[in-house]
Amino acid sequence: MAFGDDVAQRGWQTGSVVPAAMVSALEQLLTRPGQQPTQIADADWLTIVSQTCDVVASRLDQEPLVEVLHCRPHAGKPRKGRRDLESTRHLDFRPNRATHQQLVLAAHAINDRYVIPRELLAAHNPDAGRALDAIASQKVLAWYALRAGRPSWPNNFCDRVRAVRDALEDALDALSDEIAEVRVGIEEKAEELEPGYPYHVAVFFVVDEDVWSGDVDGRKAINDAFANFVAEINACDGVEVNQQLSEVVPGNEFSWQETKQTDLWDFANLSHRD
């Protein structure tokens, strides 16, 4: 049997949890330079976050390592600013609503991430009672993808926008990604501007074509959100909205070129110095 088949047969995949029996063998590997090995408490979830295709790759030498995320229980609800991919650094999430209805786990993208030898997976089965459900697995992978793919906005721009973050979040409350996407172009995207020199931004709400052509209520919600968002960001000290260019536009008219000239608006983009 190929190595990967053995691992697959045991049930390892993205979201599998390392069983208690295996943790003791791992603890010496969960280290940081100059620090004591990380202690994994019984209630903690040491979760596989490599993609399943890598976890079950047939040859060990192709994928010698797998990534694990050390998640700790958090008492209470997922915290604002950490839930639902609001931060690229911290994540509070519900690992499995079916088996652990009330449980919330918390993790840090860098501090809690480790790599372990994949060969260890062939000696153990994953934890039988704990695993991330499909939604939580997707969320964790999306979290890492978001972190890797986020645009690097100037720190001074982020600092200025953070001052109105709550108001901007409120403005977008009624807007789901499925009806419109918020994109911004930042004229000085590579510059750290001193106080007194404003950043210039163009704001686009790109509307799903079906909503644009057939959903008056959806368009009203989008236009409401656009008005509020633009007003708030324009009121932000040190940021000016280019009112000649900013628009609500149908998705079938927003070009590939314009996509390249703008960034997807994401509050997680503001979190890199949190």
Partner 1 sequence: MSDTIQTRHYTARQAALLQRRPTDIIEAANSVEDALEGRDQFLVHLNHSHTGLHGANISILGVGALGHGIAAPLTAGTKVLVLSTSWPTTAPELLTDLEDYHAEDSWSRWAGEAKKALQKAGSSAPRQTTAAARWRVERLSSLQAAFGFTIQDLAAVLGVTRPQLYKWLDAANDIKLQEASRARLAAVERMAKEWTSRSSAPLSSVGKEQLAAGRSAFASMSAEVINEAAVIACFDELVGKLQEKPKSRSQRLREAGFTRRPSVRSLPSDE
Among 251, 258, 259, 261, binds partner 1 (CB under 8 A): 251
Total binding residues toward partner 1, as defined by CB under 8 A: 54
Facing residues of 131 across strands?
16
Q: What is the CA 211 to chain-centroid distance, rounded?
A: 26
Residue 36 interacting with partner 1 (CB under 8 A) = no
Among 6, 10, 65, 78, binds partner 1 (CB under 8 A): 78
Residue 230 interacting with partner 1 (CB under 8 A) = yes
Query: Based on CB atoms, which residue is closest to partner 1, 6 or 215?
Result: 215
How far apart, in whole angstroms, are the C-alpha atoms of residue 154 and residue 184?
A: 14
Residue 219 interacting with partner 1 (CB under 8 A) = yes
**Minimum CB distance to partner 1, residue 55 (Å):** 21
Query: Based on CB atoms, which residue is closest to partner 1, 94 or 118?
Result: 94
Residue 70 interacting with partner 1 (CB under 8 A) = no
Residue 174 interacting with partner 1 (CB under 8 A) = no
Query: Based on CB atoms, which residue is closest to partner 1, 118 or 183?
Result: 183
Among 71, 85, 168, 206, binds partner 1 (CB under 8 A): 85
**Minimum CB distance to partner 1, residue 59 (Å):** 30
Query: Based on CB atoms, which residue is closest to partner 1, 84 or 258?
Result: 84
Residue numbers at the binding site for partner 1 (CB under 8 A): 77-78, 83-85, 92-94, 104, 135, 138-139, 142, 145-146, 163-167, 176-178, 181, 208-209, 212-217, 219-220, 222-224, 227-228, 230-232, 234-237, 243-244, 246-248, 250-252
